[in-house]
Amino acid sequence: MKKSLISVAILGAFAATAHAQSSVTLYGLLDTGFVYTNNQLGGHTYQLNSGSTQNTVFGFKGNEDLGGGLQAVFKLEQGFLLNNGAQAFAGDGFGSQAWVGLQSDAYGTVTLGRQFDVMNDLVGPVTAEFNTWGGSLAAHPFENDNLAANSVVFDNTVKYVSPTLSGVTFETMYSFSNKTEFADNRAYGFALSYVMGPVNLAAGYLQMNNVGDGTGAASTSDTSANFLAQRQRIWSLGGNYTFGPAQVGLVWSHTQLDDVGGVYSFGTGSYLGASDDAAGSLTGSLRMDNFEINGKYALTPALSLSGSYTYTHGAYNGTNPGWNTAMLQSDYAVSKRTDFYLEGVYQNVHGAPADSVLSHAMINTLSPSSTDTQVAVTVGMRHSF
């Protein structure tokens, strides 16, 4: 009897140890609010919206200790619209993220599956549009540089993340087309960040070839691609500095689109400027340089103020359109996981061809204005778990 009891105790200890070395976590973020827009498709609107600042998601993440500083890791995440329960990426079971990989303390992490790009991972956090204190509404025009929080997701992706050494982290990725035409609808890129004390600096490059054209790295079928273009190249560089309760940041990004055919409107759920769209043709090449200044200030541990301004200089078929995008937000946290926010965003475009979709202001996540100006004000609630 004593031997049996001892055996049971030993087995129980081993089971407890095994359980402690593995974990699975359910998590999520819920973001919804009321949005007033002065002009959407010709009229003002009042609507209950989802994801005005951050994507609404739920997911599972976990790890298993394999010994020797090596772990198996995974994440399955679904994005959805809180106001109606619809999938954020139509038809995808886990549209936001779905990957598995190996993580080594000494050598870094390799993951395989549907993932966010490396520039979004490292450069995004120094921008206003990536963070809760600015978010999706504050994105650069048409979300042209993939820096808003997790809006573009790539299929068939292999990603490597280095260990952080002296504050430096390196990431690189390749997204396969999974076609016999190897270079058709593929993506690849790299990014580097330096974080030390109050300083956060980051830079990156991302290239996409024929994304949105059928299946591959990013597809129009689930709106994973922001643009229809033969080639899209993005360079970005930015940083921020924290001093006491304040933080200020500067960001530059450059986007080159070759043989552009359309831009996705989150508000209408369609690609505007495509050949079959009445909003105005969008053909040829498009260049956009975004210059952003941002900042936030914690008045108290619970109450903060933030803002950003971005000037975007464009070049399109011999014209030079320009966009002014400004954001102000106040946020009040009632707990560590629940907060309320009030945010206003203004956008104006000038110099774009009148027969092009570029001449219509279009704040991210909303339908385009019928004029060159658009204003949106939202009051919302966020809860994380």
Q: Render pLDDT for 18-29 as a digit per residue (tens, 0 to 9).
A: 444 889 999 999
Do 51 and 86 touch, CB atoms closer than 8 A? no
| Average pLDDT estimate for 155-168 | 97
Confidence of residue 3 (pLDDT cuts 50, 70, 90): very low
pLDDT at 311 over 60: yes
Q: Which of 23-37, 147-161, 337-351 has the lowest mean pLDDT?
A: 147-161
50's CB contacts (< 8 A; 6+ apart) are 31, 32, 56, 80, 81, 82, 83, 84
Confidence of residue 372 (pLDDT cuts 50, 70, 90): very high
Q: Which of 274, 297, 235, 293 is nearest to 356 (CA)?
A: 274
Do 4 and 350 touch, CB atoms closer than 8 A? no
| Average pLDDT estimate for 53-61 | 94
Q: Which pLDDT score, from 0 to 100, does residue 264 have?
A: 86
3-state secondary structure 283-343: CCCEEEEEEEEEEEEECCCCEEEEEEEEEEEEEECCECCEEEEEEEEEEEECCCCEEEEEE
Q: Which pLDDT score, from 0 to 100, does residue 366 have?
A: 94
Burial of 353 (0-12, 13-18, 19+ CB in 10 A): middle
Map out the domains of the chain with their CATH numbers: 33-384 (2.40.160.10)
Q: Which pLDDT score, from 0 to 100, does residue 282 have?
A: 84
